[in-house]
Amino acid sequence: MTGATSVDTDAVQVQAADGPADVLIARPQSDRPLPAVLVYTDAYGIRPAVRAHAERLASYGYLVATPNVFYRHGPPPVIPGIEQLIGSEDRAKLFEALGPLMAVLTPDAAVADARAWLGFLAERPEVRDGPIGTVGYCMGGRLSLRTAGAFPDAVAAAASFHGGNLATDDDDSPHHTAVKASAELYIGHADNDRSMDPEQMGRLTRALADAHVRHTAELYVGAGHGWTQTDTPVYDEPSAERHWMRMLDLFGRAL
């Protein structure tokens, strides 16, 4: 399932909260303003598979912006040899490299950066006036829901796929911000996900329901954490294609 429109892709720099950040822009060839979607990657960051993912989404008629959320550590790929590390059986080196990057991306830093991403999109002449959509994967799921809650007037639809630690016991857990969203939310959970267990799933759903936030939560039975990403060992094509249908339905309604 792909769109029929040709897509142009560029890399630009945006002044984020703590310096210039690379942002991958994918957009269909069109003479009219487009609805925008902000894509938050998993912890592996921008890489060829992410570029293909952004281009596919753009082919359906969206201007897609994918920021390097780890810009404080350098341009993408922030971790040299990330593609080889993703496929390696020895995950220790991968998580050793990711730890310092993720530690710096605190909730306050994420919200400050989101303000920059949203401001950048609001100034783009190719972007249609009005609220945008966001979608995030794994770590990016937290960023997507946090952005929707922190900027309710700017986000009309937000999705999280195999997002981890969305509803912890911490005071700064993403669900405490997500309840402030005016957007329609979609949360696609991975099965048997240690970073998002049934207790957290229930806590998130109850919090959103109590706050009267429009949302859908769905468990992808048999799909592991990271199932949407084509360059990971857990990629699950049938479940990934279902994620595309759910996401496009959401953005089609809201944007």
Q: What is the pLDDT of residue 157?
A: 98
Average pLDDT value for residue range 208-217: 98
Identify the CATH number of the domain in which residue 172 sits. Answer: 3.40.50.1820
Q: Quote the pLDDT of residue 95.
A: 84
Q: Has residue 78 been placed in a domain?
A: yes
pLDDT reading at 142 higher than 60: yes
Residue 222 domain flag: yes
Helix ranges restricted to H, the chain? 48-58, 82-87, 92-104, 107-123, 139-150, 174-178, 198-210, 237-254
Which DSSP category does 170 fall into?
Answer: S
CB atoms within 10 A of CB 235: 16
Q: What is the pLDDT of residue 152?
A: 98
2 has pLDDT over 70: no
Q: Across all residues in the chain, what is the average pLDDT?
A: 95
Q: Is residue 43 part of a domain?
A: yes
Number of domains in the chain: 1
- Residue 74 in domain: yes
Mean pLDDT of the 127-149 span: 98
Longest dimension (CA), the chain: 48
- Greater model confidence, 190 or 91: 190
Residue 191 has pLDDT above 90, yes or no: yes
Residue 2 lies in a domain: no
pLDDT of 88: 83
Q: What would you report as the CA-atom Rg of the chain, rounded to the nearest whole angstrom? A: 17
Is 1 a member of any domain? no
Range of the domain at 212: 7-254
Please indicate, yes or no, if residue 224 is contained in any of the structural domains: yes
Residue 3, pLDDT score: 63
CB distance 150 to 38 below 8 Å: no
pLDDT at 4: 57
pLDDT at 143 (0 to 100): 98
Please state the three-class secondary structure of 11-71 as a single string: EEEEEECCEEEEEEEEEECCCCCECEEEEECCCCCCCHHHHHHHHHHHCCCCEEEEECCCH
What confidence category does residue 170 fall into, taking pLDDT thresholds of 50, 70 and 90?
very high
Query: Residue 101 domain-assigned?
Result: yes
- Which percentage of the chain shows pLDDT scores above 70? 98
Averaged pLDDT, 182-211? 97
Amino acid at 4: A
